[in-house]
Amino acid sequence: MRLLLIEDEQRLADNIAAALRESGFAVDHAADGEAGSHLAEQDIYDVVILDLMLPVKSGQAVLRDLRLRKLRTPVLILTAQEGKESVVELLNNGADDYLAKPFDLGELIARVKALIRRSKGVASSVLRVGGVEVDTVRQVVTRHGTEIDLSPTEFRILEYLAHKPKAIVSKQELLEHLYDYDWEHHSNVIEAHVSNLRRKLSLADTESLIETLRHRGYRLRESTF
């Protein structure tokens, strides 16, 4: 999953981005509201984490413009502002969640994961498809109770596909959501990761869990056994 962090405090932004990347997210960072707004309007992010007190363009204006453009990307607000009225106003203006500074990074990551699940219509942190269980919190994958050892990239590919089990996911969509702005540099290796993932998930005498549709992308089969 790919996140956009719009935060002008460099040290805080570095800490947040490091924690999110350690949890398996790709993270782009913008240090002011105008740059953040430009990136957010590309509509390629799974969650936007938005500070309110930003230079050039305020967080409120970024949120307002996103919703005026009918973009549905979940937005988690980071706020130092106090008072019930400001929180109510933010939620009424299209924010999906908020955290008051200072906050625990573990709580931030848990809230981001909850927003992703909610935006994709999934209630549980464990995704189930084709006999495979993907625990998005523990980052553990099992098939028929047997744990499967995946690399971090293989896990992220499977997690993204499992959120959209009936959808065809193009190679570009996978790249955009798995990597940060540098995603084009990874375009030649995605097939190798998918191939390894397909092999690790395979069972004898069954179709592969991951279906390749020529020139279109990849799709998870919901029943392969």
Q: What is the pLDDT of residue 60?
A: 92
Count of residues in the chain:
225
Is a pLDDT exceeding 50 seen at residue 206? yes
Whole-number average pLDDT of the chain? 89
Express as a percent the part of the chain with pLDDT over 70: 92
User: Mean of the pLDDT values across residues 21-29?
Assistant: 93
- The residues, ordered by sequence, that sit 6+ positions from 200 with a Cβ below 8 Å of its Cβ are 148, 149, 150, 154
Three-state DSSP state, 37: helix
Contacts of 59 (CB under 8 A, 6+ apart): 6, 33, 50, 51, 52, 53, 77, 79
Of 34 and 215, more confident:
34
Identity at 197, one-letter amino acid code: L
CB 48 within 8 Å of CB 20:
no
Burial class (CB in 10 A: 0-12, 13-18, 19+), 20: buried
User: Residue 225 pLDDT more than 50?
Assistant: no
More confident residue, 20 or 122: 20
Q: Mind giving me the DSSP string for 147-202?
A: EE---HHHHHHHHHHHTSTTS-B-HHHHHHHHS-TTGGGGTTTHHHHHHHHHHHH-
61: left (phi over 0), alpha (psi -120 to 50) or beta: alpha
In the predicted model, is pLDDT for residue 72 greater than 90? yes
Tokens of 90: 């933010």
Q: What confidence tier does 184 reach under pLDDT thresholds 50, 70, 90?
A: low
| pLDDT value at residue 208 | 82
As a whole number of angstroms, the distance between CA 211 and CA 220 comes to 6
DSSP state of 67: H
Quick: pLDDT tens for 141-182.
998 888 999 999 999 999 999 988 788 999 888 888 888 766
Query: pTM of the full predicted structure?
Result: 0.82
The rounded distance, in Å, linking the Cα atoms of 211 and 164 is: 13
Torsion over CA: 180, 185, 188, 193 (sign): negative
Encode pLDDT of 79-136 as tens digits: 886 655 677 888 898 999 999 888 999 999 999 999 999 998 888 889 988 789 999 8
